[in-house]
Amino acid sequence: MAVILDQGGAECVIRLEGEVNIAAAVELKGLLVQALVSGKELRVSVEGATELDITALQLLVALDCDSKRAGTRVVLAGKVPETVATTLLEAGFEKFPIPPDLGLKGA
CATH of the domain at 58: 3.30.750.24
- The range of the structural domain enclosing residue 68 comes to 2-102
Average pLDDT over residues 26-44: 91
Question: How many domains would you assign to the chain?
Answer: 1
Q: What is the pTM of this model?
A: 0.79
| Domain-located, residue 70 | yes
Q: What pLDDT was estimated at residue 54? A: 87
Q: How far apart are the first and last CA of the chain?
A: 25
Could you give phi then psi for residue 12, rounded to 5 degrees?
-105, 135
| Domain-located, residue 107 | no
Examine the pLDDT at 95 and tell me if it is beyond 80: no
Closest by CA position to 49, among listed 75, 73, 79, 29: 79
Could you give phi then psi for residue 91, rounded to 5 degrees?
-85, 0
Q: How far is CA 44 from the centre of its chain?
A: 4
* Confidence bin at 91 (pLDDT 50/70/90): confident
Examine the pLDDT at 42 and tell me if it is beyond 60: yes
Q: What angle do CA 1, 99, 4 make, to 5 degrees?
A: 25
| Domain-located, residue 50 | yes
Measured over the CA atoms of residue 85, residue 24, residue 18 and residue 72, the dihedral's sign is positive
